[in-house]
Amino acid sequence: TAELRQEGTQLKDEGLSLQNMRRNLEASAAVRLRKLDEDCENFAETKRGQINLLRSNMLKKFKREREKMDAKLKLRERELNRSLEEQEAEMMRNKAAASAKEGKRIEEQFLRQKKALEDGIEREKAKAAKNLENMEAKERPEMDAKAQGGESSILRREKETANKKAAIQKEINDKM
């Protein structure tokens, strides 16, 4: 019976030792698992931040280009309007000095020139708008592809993390 008591004490000590070892392994694994999760979350946050920054920069670029185009068009429109005013003043002087028939012809000629200049302004506006649309149409798919690539890398990282976590769990189970 003393032998059985001694054997029971040894088995109890071995059991306690195994329980302590399991707790230590589980605590160590919990730290490693938490670190893996944090690394994965940080990676995803950083990637999405980079994508959002790229997208924001692209939108700012579009806005700058639009503002630059608007400024050029306004300047051009002012120049053409100033030219029209000068031509109108000259037409009025010529009309006053000319006969009624000649005055009518001068006014009609001026109105045709005015219409041509106004049409030119509209064509320039349409051309500039089309150029902006083309630039945006070219850059948006590139941005979307970068965003998709970023999301794919996040998914790959999440899958790698899940595999590493499963390997850690298996390691704990194998040791016990």
Q: What is the end-to-end Cα distance of the chain in Å, rounded?
A: 30
Per-residue pLDDT, averaged over 11-37, amounts to 92
69-118 tens-digit pLDDT: 999 999 988 998 898 889 888 888 888 888 888 888 888 888 998 899 88
Residue holding tokens 């009609």?
108
- Is residue 127's pLDDT more than 90? yes
* Rounded Cα distance, 146 and 124, in Å: 33
CB 48 within 8 A of CB 162: no
Q: How many CB atoms lie within 10 A of CB 91?
A: 19
Residue holding tokens 């850690």?
168
